[in-house]
Amino acid sequence: MKYRAGQIAKLRSPQRVRDITSREANCHTPHISKRPPRSGAMLVLVAIMMIGFMMAVAFSVDIAQMHLTKTELRTATDAASKAAAGTLAETMERSQAIKRGRQIAAANSVNGEPLRLTRQDFRFGNARQSRSGKFRFQRGRKPYNTVQVTGRRAKRSRSGAIPLFFGDLTGLEFFETESTAAATYIERDVVLVVDRSGSMWGSKFKDLISAIKTFTNTLEETPVDEYVGLASYAEFGSTDVPLTPNLHEINRGVRSLKLGGWTSVSRGMEAGNQVMQGGRNAAYVERTMIVMTDGRHNRGPSPELIAQQLHEDGITIHTITFGSDADRSRMAQVARIGGGRHYHADSGIQLKEIYREIALTLSTIITQ
């Protein structure tokens, strides 16, 4: 194609070149839309994060309040059960134990308010130590040596549920919790049944006096005031000291025994039972008989038969044999029937250790 000179000049003009370049550029450049400002999106994100932070703070405060309430409730319940168990041991009256337990509970605050208990929050029963060393509570079982208390902060309890600080924000307005504690206060009536037959003459009787003194001294150190009585036997049994908290009377009673005669373990146990029957209410105390002999039963009814009768009446029987002439096999059987343990001593030193060991296991306080 041929162009005229004017047309060529027009095509070559700088303005024309710029217009053409601009149109070409517009034809090849893709369309770019306008974006919204970034500052608005950040404000929304910050607002969401602030709400999450406030929720986390609210949950943290409420959880801390829950933990503190549980700790306070556990402390108050433990204190109430211990107070009730101690009062039960002193008065042998369940109503007095409940009254004292409620007083102590109310003296402890839970979430700033006294813990209020009802009579139904107290349960009475018996706790006995298993082979594993733990105490197992059985409600309603006698003798009563344990008070189990349940403390509650719930809507249906006297103290009510726990209002939470941020309940409106978290949707959980109230918190409910409970704690259970069982205090065991083992109170015992103990009757010592000792052999005063002719074979106890000499050093054996001196060893017995020393061992009984060790027994009473050890009991003086325990937290419970046990009542101890004394019975003895040769051919016949005798009731020597009635049950008493004054353990010096037991030592005097042993020293005053007159030795001589045959050996009737069963009659000694029957005399021990007479002492036991003059003790405290069997519904509130554990009853234990400790039978000691250095010889062999040769008069009166079978010791095994008497042991069976006594154990059915709620008496636990431990037996001690002393010296090489003692009937270890038979006395071990008496202990098995009586639900207790059998011990053997070859010397006076061993006899003292046995009486001391028994004394240490007679009483304890434990909270479950």
Tens digits of pLDDT across the chain (368 residues)? 444 545 544 545 555 545 544 555 555 555 555 555 555 667 766 667 776 666 666 667 778 888 898 999 999 999 999 899 888 887 889 999 999 999 999 999 999 899 999 999 999 999 887 766 678 899 999 889 899 999 999 988 888 998 887 655 556 778 899 999 999 877 789 999 999 999 999 999 999 999 999 999 999 887 677 899 999 999 999 999 999 999 999 999 999 999 999 999 999 999 999 999 999 888 888 899 999 999 999 999 999 999 999 999 999 999 999 999 999 999 999 999 999 999 999 999 999 999 999 998 775 555 56
The residue among 220, 206, 239 whose CA lies nearest residue 352 is 206
pTM comes to 0.64
**Secondary-structure percent of the chain, ordered helix, strand, coil, rounded to 5:** 45, 25, 30
Residues 311 and 320: their CA atoms lie apart, in Å, by: 17
DSSP string, 12-45: TSHHHHHHHHHHHHHHHSPP-PPPPPHHHHHHHH
97: nearest Cα among 142, 135, 158, 145: 145
The count of structural domains within the chain is 2
16 within a domain of the structure (yes/no) = no
Residues 175 and 149 in one domain: yes
Question: 238 and 343: one domain?
Answer: yes
Name all contacts of 155-158 with Cβ < 8 Å and 24+ positions apart.
157/116, 158/116, 158/117, 158/118
Measure the CA–CA gap between 168 and 230, rounded to whole angstroms. 69
**Comparing C-alpha atoms, which of 63, 67, 73 is closest to residue 165?**
63
Considering the domain architecture, whether residues 232 and 122 belong to the same structural domain is answered as no
Domain boundary among 156, 185, 214: 185
Decide: 127 and 23 in contact? Cβ < 8 Å.
no
